[in-house]
Structure 1
Amino acid sequence: MKGSRWFIIFIVAFLLVMFAVEYHLPKKFVWTPTFSHYDEQPLGCAVFDSLLSSSLPNGYSISKETFYQMEGDTTDNGNKGILVIANNLSMVEADVNALLKMAERGNKIMLVSNNYPKYLEDTLRFYCTYSHFSAAAFKKYASSIFRKDSIYWIADSVYSRQLYRCYPQFCNSYFRSYDSLPVRKLAEKDMSDAIGDALADSDSVKAYNNYHPLMAMVRPWGKGEIMLVSTPLLFTNYGVLDGNNANYIFRLLSQMGELPIVRSEGYVKATAQVQQSPFRYLLAHQPLRWALYLTMITILLFMIFTAKRRQRAIPVVREPANKSLEFTELIGTLYFQKKDHVDLVRKKFAYLAEVLRREIQVDIEEVADDKRSFERIARKTGMDAEDIARFIHEVRPVLYGGRTIDSEQMKVFIDKMNEIINHI
Structure 2
Amino acid sequence: MKGSRWFIVFIVAFLSIMFAIEYHLPKNFVWKPTFSHYDEQPFGCAVFDSVLSSSLPQGYTFSRKSLYQLEQEDTTQRRGILVISDNLRLSDVDVNALLKMAERGDKIMLVSTLFGRYLEDTLRFRSYCSYFSPMALKKYATSFLKKDSLHWIGDSTVYPRQTFYFYPQLCSSYFWGDSLPERVLAQRVLAQRVFESNEFRYETEVDSLTTDSLVYMPVAMSRRWEKGEVILVSTPLIFTNYGMLDGKNATYIFRLLSQMGKLPIVRTEGYMKETAQVQQSPFRYFLAHEPLRWALYLTIITIILFMIFTAKRRQRVIPVMHEPANKSLEFTELIGTLYFQKKDHADLVRKKFSYLAEELRREIQVDIEEVADDERSFHRIARKTGMDAEEIAKFICEVRPVIYGGRVIDAEQMKVYIDKMNEIIHHI
Question: After TM superposition, is the score higher than 0.5?
Answer: yes
2:47 is the counterpart of 1:41: no
Provide, for residues 358-405 of structure 1, a one-character-per-residue CA deviation record: whole Å limited to 9, x for no partner. xxxxxxxxxxxxxxxxxxxxxxxxxxxxxxxxxxxxxxxxxxxxxxxx
Distance 1:5 1:155 in 2: 70
Distance 1:44 1:104 in 2: 32
Aligned residue for 1:108? 107
Distance 1:36 1:69 in 2: 20
The answer to whether the Cα contact below 8 Å between 2:83 and 2:269 also exists between their aligned partners in 1 is yes
The answer to whether the Cα contact below 8 Å between 1:36 and 1:44 also exists between their aligned partners in 2 is yes
Q: Cα gap change, 1:309/1:255 in structure 2, threshold over 3 Å: closer, same or farther?
A: farther
The answer to whether the Cα contact below 8 Å between 2:183 and 2:221 also exists between their aligned partners in 1 is yes
Distance 1:104 1:251 in 2: 23
Provide, for residues 235-290 of structure 1, a one-character-per-residue CA deviation record: whole Å limited to 9, x for no partner. 11011111221100000000110000000100111111100011110111111011
In structure 2, give the amino acid aligned to 1:44: G
| 1:206 match: secondary structure | coil
Distance 2:33 2:180 in 1: 34
Q: Cα gap change, 1:12/1:27 in structure 2, threshold over 3 Å: closer, same or farther?
A: same
Q: How is 1:166-185 mapped onto 2 (pairs within 5 angstroms)? A: 166-176=166-176, 178-179=178-179, 181=181, 183-185=182-184
Aligned residue for 2:79? 80
2:187 is the counterpart of 1:188: yes
In structure 2, give the amino acid aligned to 1:142: A
In structure 2, give the amino acid aligned to 1:3: G
Q: How is 1:290-309 mapped onto 2 (pairs within 5 angstroms)? A: 290-307=294-311, 308=313
Provide, for residues 61-113 of structure 1, a one-character-per-residue CA deviation record: whole Å limited to 9, x for no partner. 01101111111222x22210000000110221111111111111111000001
Distance 1:141 1:309 in 2: 66
In structure 2, give the amino acid aligned to 1:102: M
Aligned residue for 1:206? 212
The answer to whether the Cα contact below 8 Å between 2:81 and 2:106 also exists between their aligned partners in 1 is yes
The answer to whether the Cα contact below 8 Å between 2:80 and 2:108 also exists between their aligned partners in 1 is yes
TM-fit CA distance, 1:178: 4.7
In structure 2, give the amino acid aligned to 1:37: H
Distance 2:265 2:300 in 1: 44
TM-fit CA distance, 1:167: 0.5
Aligned residue for 1:277? 281
Aligned residue for 1:98? 97
Aligned residue for 1:16? 16
Aligned residue for 1:246? 250
Aligned residue for 2:201? none
Aligned residue for 1:117? 116
Distance 2:213 2:208 in 1: 13
Distance 1:127 1:199 in 2: 29
Provide, for residues 175-199 of structure 1, a one-character-per-residue CA deviation record: whole Å limited to 9, x for no partner. 1155563x11111112259945377
| 1:191 match: secondary structure | strand
RMSD: 1.9
In structure 2, give the amino acid aligned to 1:12: V
Aligned residue for 1:361? none
The answer to whether the Cα contact below 8 Å between 2:43 and 2:240 also exists between their aligned partners in 1 is yes
Aligned residue for 1:261? 265
| 2:256 match: secondary structure | helix
The answer to whether the Cα contact below 8 Å between 1:165 and 1:244 also exists between their aligned partners in 2 is no
TM-fit CA distance, 1:25: 2.0
Provide, for residues 91-148 of structure 1, a one-character-per-residue CA deviation record: whole Å limited to 9, x for no partner. 2111111111111111100000111110000010001100111000000111112110
TM-fit CA distance, 1:26: 1.8
2:207 to 197, 203, 209: 197
The answer to whether the Cα contact below 8 Å between 1:81 and 1:107 also exists between their aligned partners in 2 is yes
Q: How is 1:399-410 mapped onto 2 (pairs within 5 angstroms)? A: none
Q: Cα gap change, 1:108/1:311 in structure 2, threshold over 3 Å: closer, same or farther?
A: farther
Range with bigger deviation, 49-58 or 243-252 = 243-252
Aligned residue for 2:159? 159
Provide, for residues 128-176 of structure 1, a one-character-per-residue CA deviation record: whole Å limited to 9, x for no partner. 1001110000001111121100011111121001110001000011111
| 2:247 match: secondary structure | coil
The answer to whether the Cα contact below 8 Å between 1:42 and 1:237 also exists between their aligned partners in 2 is yes
1:235 to 226, 234, 239: 239
| 1:238 match: secondary structure | helix
Distance 2:309 2:290 in 1: 29
- Structure number, greater radius of gyration: 2
TM-score (norm 2): 0.68
2:240 is the counterpart of 1:226: no
TM-fit CA distance, 1:11: 1.5
The answer to whether the Cα contact below 8 Å between 1:165 and 1:245 also exists between their aligned partners in 2 is yes
| 1:28 match: secondary structure | coil
In structure 1, give the amino acid aligned to 2:283: F
Aligned residue for 2:136? 137
Gaps of 5+ in 1: 313-424
The answer to whether the Cα contact below 8 Å between 1:185 and 1:218 also exists between their aligned partners in 2 is yes
| 1:8 match: secondary structure | helix
2:133 is the counterpart of 1:149: no
Range with bigger deviation, 90-99 or 37-46 = 90-99
Aligned residue for 1:28? 28
Distance 2:250 2:4 in 1: 57
In structure 2, give the amino acid aligned to 1:40: E
| 1:58 match: secondary structure | coil
In structure 2, give the amino acid aligned to 1:185: V
TM-fit CA distance, 1:3: 2.1
TM-score (norm 1): 0.69
Provide, for residues 10-56 of structure 1, a one-character-per-residue CA deviation record: whole Å limited to 9, x for no partner. 21222122212222222111111000000001100000000000000
Distance 2:42 2:316 in 1: 48
Gaps of 5+ in 2: 193-203, 318-428
The answer to whether the Cα contact below 8 Å between 1:125 and 1:178 also exists between their aligned partners in 2 is no
The answer to whether the Cα contact below 8 Å between 2:153 and 2:186 also exists between their aligned partners in 1 is yes
Distance 1:99 1:247 in 2: 27
Aligned residue for 2:410? none
TM-fit CA distance, 1:4: 1.8
